[in-house]
Chains A and B, each alone.
Chain A
Amino acid sequence: MNQRSSNLLDEALGLDQSIEPWPLRGRIVAIEDQVETSGSFVLHHILKRSLSPNSSNVSILIAFSQPFSHYDRVLRKLGCNLVTQRDNNRFFFFDMLMLQCPGGDEGISPECGLIALYGKIYKTIVALPEVSSKNVTIIIDDLSLMEVAANGSSDYVLDFMHYCRTLTTEFDCSLIALNHEDIYSSADRPTFLLQMEYLADILIKAEPLATGLASDVHGQLTVLNKGMNYRQGSSRNKISNFHFKVKENVVECFYPGSQG
């Protein structure tokens, strides 16, 4: 594992230096993608890194879009066995595929919906032994479906995100959330998206190439890392931009034109 070849994505996220302590600790990562280019591979990548065998991180995956079997197969091909990690209490899977919050004000009652979900996350983190409770990664796949589950009440979802944000300060958790940028592109003031971008410490955008998709370049990633490396005197915001190709066992990242 030591000679793990770091790639541009790891570099941009700051995962190339060390995995312990977890570099994303206390940070919020927002991933935005589009219909043509799915950004879920970034989730898988971070999940794999956080469950790396030489760290003690714990991951909580809140899945609105896919069943466990899907993640299990995908991660297994990346070299990470979720079933084993689940048995070792390093991976927690919350299946939210059928979660439906009742509409109107009933949804605000604490027994159901997103508040209950938050309670579940909180309990899971509190119940962890002390050593690992500092390195919890909460992954949400994805926010737009969470909005649907909340019957379109984006405020409700934003409240949930703010609650989760308190976890990042209270327990130094990291919070990773996927959302779809193009959903909001027609709105003149997409509050939900803008708020998420404001909250995020790292913003990752997955976009198709302007020239269309090709079999050797699947799209481009823009990673905005706010407040990285500032101790070393370099700029506070670091923007990385590169192309990627998603494979079963790895994501290849490279600068435009530098491939093959």
Chain B
Amino acid sequence: MAAAKTRTSSFSRNLSAAAPSQGPGLKCGPNGTVFLSSGISDLDKILGGGFPLGSLVMVMEDAEAPHHMLLLRNFMSQGLVHNQPLLYASPAIDPRGFLGTLPSPAASKDEKSHKHDPDQEKGLRIAWQYKKYFGESQLNFDGQRDGKHEYSNEFDLRKPLERHFLSAQRVDCVSIQDSPNLSALQDRSATFLSQYPRNDGSISCAGRIAIQSFSAPQCAYSNMEWDMLSFIRSLKSMVRSSNAVALITFPPSLLSPSFCKRWQHMADTLLSVKAIPDEDKELSQLLTGYQDMVGFLNVHKVARINTQVPVILDATTFSIKLQKRRKQSTNHHKNEKPSEMKNRIHPYCIVHKVVAYPSKPLGEPDRRWLLSYVKWESLRTQSNLLY
């Protein structure tokens, strides 16, 4: 960010912190970065605020489940709600049709006043003295919501996004199926990103690029591994110098192992999603809230822009749940028929730390199996629950 500026003293004032003039949906982060929301507020919290502008986010898909679409949809919807321009590329023939499936922001602010889920409370009870810090950070988080636009919305996955968000001419859709090479997509991205160059002044608007299933086999270039890599590299370089975030999802199984690693190295923020087997009895006994889980989310890498310090999370595996939440409570809801109640609840995506809470004492094989199945540090921190 300080590229053009020549500051000669290390002790000069941090200008970006002094003048936090930003457009809607943006938030100051550490080291002079500015965050935008992923569209899932829990994920934002995990990542320390969201996706920093100028970063490349990559999501490794699971071939068996479409959970990456959840991340993609929320990411795109959040941008549209904030009136941020969007470039969407997909291997579908008609990418614009996908916009009709984007979720709509659901709850009003007041409804979110309940902050702690019961699960969360349980986790906090272990270290009750941290509660006050937690509350504080939550307060900061909510402070952002006082403006007209909230930093991050909750999205009702059953309700399509209202048309007026889509009719804005700032949505650009590209089909990457037919193009024999990547130059067309590269040009579109370059044109898109050139509208939001990075300068030291205030950031009025931030762009989002969403590319779905980049290496899908139906794309003509899917066997040109070096070309794809070089596209990602140039996209990353362009994004770095603009106020935008690019999110690419890709099926890693279709890439050779060596290229898969190269892609992972490219990413600033690297996530992966995994399906949960449907009727896994053993797992359901081990994990609390198993019924609500639809998948796992792994955080492999968190963007570190302008810093050399890695972000170490206390857990890297999270469960994706679709929480069904009752809409604004009414006075007479006790008298409602169950069918009516059903209409009043809406699913939205939350991301939770995986809590292992076995209903029976674990034997050694079970424990080993659990550790290999969910091979994560989160379990180490909660190992007191296992014994």
By a beta-carbon cutoff of 8 Å, the part of chain A in contact with chain B is: 35-38, 40-41, 44, 66-70, 72-74, 76-77, 79, 81, 83-84, 87, 97-98, 100, 144-145, 148-149, 151-152, 180, 182-187, 212-215, 218, 246-248
Q: Contact between A152 and B310 (Cβ–Cβ < 8 Å)?
A: no
* The one of B8, B241, B377 that contacts A212, using a Cβ cutoff of 8 Å: B377
> A76 and B10 in contact (CB under 8 A), knowing A69-B2, A212-B377?
yes
What residues of chain B lie closer than 8 Å to A36, measured between beta carbons?
Answer: 300-301
A73 to chain B, nearest CB (A): 4
Q: Contact between A73 and B230 (Cβ–Cβ < 8 Å)?
A: no
* The one of A35, A40, A74, A98 that contacts B270, using a Cβ cutoff of 8 Å: A35
By a beta-carbon cutoff of 8 Å, the part of chain B in contact with chain A is: 1-3, 6-10, 31-32, 225-226, 229-230, 233-234, 237, 240-241, 256-258, 261-262, 264-265, 270, 300-301, 304-310, 312, 314, 376-377, 380
> A100 and B230 in contact (CB under 8 A), knowing A182-B261, A215-B314?
yes
Q: Contact between A144 and B265 (Cβ–Cβ < 8 Å)?
A: yes
Residue of A nearest to B200 (CB): A69
9 tightest CB-CB pairs across the interface, nearest first? A152-B226, A186-B257, A97-B237, A73-B306, A69-B3, A183-B261, A41-B308, A215-B312, A35-B264
Number of CB contacts from chain A to chain B under 8 A: 105
* The one of B3, B31, B234, B305 that contacts A68, using a Cβ cutoff of 8 Å: B3
A252 to chain B, nearest CB (A): 11
A253 to chain B, nearest CB (A): 14
Residue of B nearest to A96 (CB): B237
Q: Contact between B305 and A246 (Cβ–Cβ < 8 Å)?
A: no
What residues of chain B lie closer than 8 Å to A186, measured between beta carbons?
Answer: 256-258, 261
* The one of A74, A76, A183 that contacts B262, using a Cβ cutoff of 8 Å: A183
B360 to chain A, nearest CB (A): 27
Q: Contact between B265 and A213 (Cβ–Cβ < 8 Å)?
A: no
A31 to chain B, nearest CB (A): 13
Q: Contact between B8 and A74 (Cβ–Cβ < 8 Å)?
A: no
* The one of A44, A149, A187 that contacts B308, using a Cβ cutoff of 8 Å: A44
CA of A87 to CA of B7 in the docked complex: distance in angstroms? 12
> A183 and B265 in contact (CB under 8 A), knowing A74-B307, A98-B237, A148-B226?
yes
- List 10 extra interface pairs beyond A76-B10, A213-B310, CB under 8 A: A35-B261, A35-B265, A38-B308, A87-B6, A148-B229, A180-B261, A183-B262, A185-B257, A185-B261, A246-B309
* The one of A151, A183, A185, A248 that contacts B309, using a Cβ cutoff of 8 Å: A248
Q: Contact between A184 and B308 (Cβ–Cβ < 8 Å)?
A: no
CA of A28 to CA of B301 in the docked complex: distance in angstroms? 29
CA of A69 to CA of B225 in the docked complex: distance in angstroms? 30
Q: Contact between B308 and A83 (Cβ–Cβ < 8 Å)?
A: no
Q: Contact between A73 and B307 (Cβ–Cβ < 8 Å)?
A: yes
What residues of chain B lie closer than 8 Å to A184, measured between beta carbons?
Answer: 258
CA of A69 to CA of B233 in the docked complex: distance in angstroms? 18
A178 to chain B, nearest CB (A): 11
Q: Contact between B306 and A69 (Cβ–Cβ < 8 Å)?
A: yes
Q: Contact between A213 and B308 (Cβ–Cβ < 8 Å)?
A: no
* The one of B10, B31, B306, B312 that contacts A213, using a Cβ cutoff of 8 Å: B312
B34 to chain A, nearest CB (A): 13
Q: Contact between B31 and A151 (Cβ–Cβ < 8 Å)?
A: no
Q: Contact between B262 and A214 (Cβ–Cβ < 8 Å)?
A: no
Q: Contact between A98 and B312 (Cβ–Cβ < 8 Å)?
A: no
Task: List 9 contacting pairs A-B, 8 Å CB cutoff, sorted by A.
Answer: A36-B301, A81-B9, A83-B8, A97-B237, A148-B233, A184-B258, A212-B376, A246-B308, A246-B309
Residue of B nearest to A218 (CB): B310
Residue of B nearest to A151 (CB): B226
CA of A145 to CA of B263 in the docked complex: distance in angstroms? 11
B260 to chain A, nearest CB (A): 9
Residue of A nearest to B375 (CB): A212
CA of A40 to CA of B306 in the docked complex: distance in angstroms? 12
CA of A132 to CA of B6 in the docked complex: distance in angstroms? 25
CA of A24 to CA of B8 in the docked complex: distance in angstroms? 28
Q: Contact between B2 and A74 (Cβ–Cβ < 8 Å)?
A: no
Q: Contact between B10 and A81 (Cβ–Cβ < 8 Å)?
A: yes
Q: Contact between A183 and B270 (Cβ–Cβ < 8 Å)?
A: no
What residues of chain A lie closer than 8 Å to B257, measured between beta carbons?
Answer: 185-186
* The one of A73, A148, A215 that contacts B32, using a Cβ cutoff of 8 Å: A73
Q: Contact between B258 and A187 (Cβ–Cβ < 8 Å)?
A: yes
B200 to chain A, nearest CB (A): 10
Q: Contact between B262 and A72 (Cβ–Cβ < 8 Å)?
A: no
Tell me which of A145, A149, A247 has the highest count of chain B C-beta atoms within 10 A of its own C-beta: A145
Q: Contact between A70 and B258 (Cβ–Cβ < 8 Å)?
A: no
